[in-house]
Amino acid sequence: MNSTAAPSTMQIVPIQLDDRSYNIHIGGGLLTAPASFDGLPKAATALVVSNSVVAPLYLDKLLGVLRQRHATVHTVVLADGESTKTWDSLNQIFEGLLSKACDRKTVLYALGGGVVGDMTGFAAACYMRGVPFVQVPTTLLAQVDSSVGGKTAINHPLGKNMIGAFYQPLRVICDLDTLKTLPARELSAGLAEIIKYGPIVDMAFLDWVEANLDALMACDPEAMAFAVKRSCEIKADVVSQDEREGGLRAILNFGHTFGHAIEAGMGYGAWLHGEGVGCGMVMAAMLSQKMGLADQAFVERLTRIVKRAGLPTVAPVLDARDNAGRYMDLMRVDKKADAGQIQFILVDGKGKATVGPAPDAMVAEVINACCG
């Protein structure tokens, strides 16, 4: 294959955002294909941000391509895990940029999962008030969700992703081959974000996911290529209509209100983000049923799918004295909260989602029913 030609398996999903529009490239072998990077800036300097798990696997491969585009390529390798999504880690990126005298044309590349992508994007948004960056996600969760749409952030002990900015990448390069090295737990975490797209937009996709779940868990290339592409198409369509989460985009947080509370309450890293989302979807579906939107059959079906995907369906107890109160306190520290009122993403079981409040007593019933 000619090194300047795109891999034959590459598919492109566009995100239409006027002058901030960009493409998501999906396929095998993209990480080492120069054509994956065609059209991106050829600045003199680049900086790759990765972590201690991903760097040994893929950093040298990416550097081999980038050194054909940039005269100098610096690297910053962070510790791994959600617990590292902090000011200290963010400052390591800034130190890498400043110590090498990187200028405003320097291109940042985020090589890793959602934590690396979120922090690199936030650093790019802040450094010299904005430098270009490219997402190179290596986890399933990052490929189908966090790398797409321009949400960047770090965590605070009181709330997940509460400090950040909307800042779009120049491109997202999803090399499906990187998923082959994912641990089973990380793969399951990514499946949570794939599953969520069905109940909020496309129940036919949920039907497909349910029928092909075994293939997805085995990382079958054909099944994975379709799942990643369809997930990106759905997210791209929503983000194109509502870039800054003024309304519609909030539906992408199905399961996240409960899930973020679990992550914050247990301590970041105890559960993976996708595990919190998976269990959170079960809780949100049960709340939807109590609110008269979905039926019991849908709740039971979604619970089965989440469980089959290797995700938890029983929520943890965060406070033995007042568990429901602890959950609701954490959920009030949420970007979607309105004047302290928790906003939930509710579904009707037919592929439609709404955003709104729910009575505290009803939410408490769900929390008590779901916690074990």
Give me the catalytic one of 186, 193, 233, 243: 193
**Catalytic-residue membership of 256:** yes
Strands 45-51 and 344-347: unpaired
Predicted local confidence at residue 1, as pLDDT: 32
Q: If you count DSSP H runs as helices and E runs as strands, how many of each does the chain have, helices first?
A: 13, 11
Query: Which residue among 152, 181, 210 closes a domain?
Result: 181
Q: Which amino acid is at 235?
A: K
Q: Are both 212 and 337 inside the same structural domain? A: yes
With a CB cutoff of 8 Å and minimum separation 6, the contacts of 216 are: 191, 194, 209, 223, 224, 227
Query: Which residue among 132, 165, 181 closes a domain?
Result: 181
d(C-alpha 145, C-alpha 24), whole Å: 12
Containing domain of residue 326, as a range?
A: 189-370
* Domain assignment of residue 5, yes or no: no
Would you write out the chain's pLDDT as a tens digit for each of its 372 residues? 333 445 557 999 999 999 999 999 999 999 999 999 999 999 999 999 999 999 999 999 999 999 999 999 999 999 999 999 999 999 999 999 999 999 999 999 999 999 999 999 999 999 999 999 999 999 999 999 999 999 999 999 888 999 999 999 999 999 999 999 999 999 999 999 999 999 999 999 999 999 999 999 999 999 999 999 999 999 999 999 999 888 899 999 999 999 999 999 999 999 999 999 999 999 999 999 999 999 999 999 999 999 999 999 999 999 999 999 999 999 998 777 777 789 999 999 999 999 999 999 999 999 999 998
Predicted local confidence at residue 3, as pLDDT: 39
Residue 83 marked as a ligand binder: yes
**Catalytic-residue membership of 368:** no
Give me the catalytic one of 249, 275, 290, 335: 249
Residue 60: what are its φ and ψ, rounded to 5°? -60, -35
d(C-alpha 269, C-alpha 16), whole Å: 34
Confirm if 370 and 303 have CB atoms less than 8 A apart.
Answer: no
- The pTM score is 0.94
Q: Which amino acid is at 183?
A: P
d(C-alpha 298, C-alpha 285), whole Å: 8
Give me the catalytic one of 186, 243, 245, 275: 245
How many CB atoms neighbour CB 183 within 10 A? 10
Residue 307 marked as a ligand binder: no
Q: Are both 172 and 279 inside the same structural domain? A: no
**Catalytic-residue membership of 244:** no
CATH number at residue 105: 3.40.50.1970
**Catalytic-residue membership of 151:** yes
**Catalytic-residue membership of 260:** yes
* Domain assignment of residue 77, yes or no: yes
**Catalytic-residue membership of 2:** no
Confirm if 223 and 216 have CB atoms less than 8 A apart.
Answer: yes
* Domain assignment of residue 155, yes or no: yes
Query: Which residue among 158, 181, 204 closes a domain?
Result: 181
**Catalytic-residue membership of 245:** yes
**Catalytic-residue membership of 156:** no
Predicted local confidence at residue 159, as pLDDT: 87
Residue 106 marked as a ligand binder: no
Residue 82 marked as a ligand binder: yes
Residue 229 marked as a ligand binder: no
Residue 118 marked as a ligand binder: yes
**Phi-psi map region of 345: left, alpha, beta (phi>0 left; psi -120 to 50 alpha):** beta
* Domain assignment of residue 4, yes or no: no
Confirm if 370 and 362 have CB atoms less than 8 A apart.
Answer: no
Give me the catalytic one of 171, 230, 260, 290: 260
Which residue in the block uniquely carries the two structure tokens 């779940």? 213
Give me the catalytic one of 70, 256, 290, 335: 256
Residue 180 marked as a ligand binder: yes
Q: What element of type H or E holds 50?
A: strand 45-51
Q: Are both 147 and 27 inside the same structural domain? A: yes
Q: Are both 170 and 204 inside the same structural domain? A: no
**Catalytic-residue membership of 185:** no
DSSP string, 109-159: EEEESHHHHHHHHHHHHHGGG---EEEEE-SHHIIIIITSS-EEEEEETTE
Report CA dihedral (126, 130, 134, 136) to the nearest 10 degrees: 0
CATH number at residue 194: 1.20.1090.10
The one-character DSSP state at 44 is S
Q: Are both 162 and 40 inside the same structural domain? A: yes
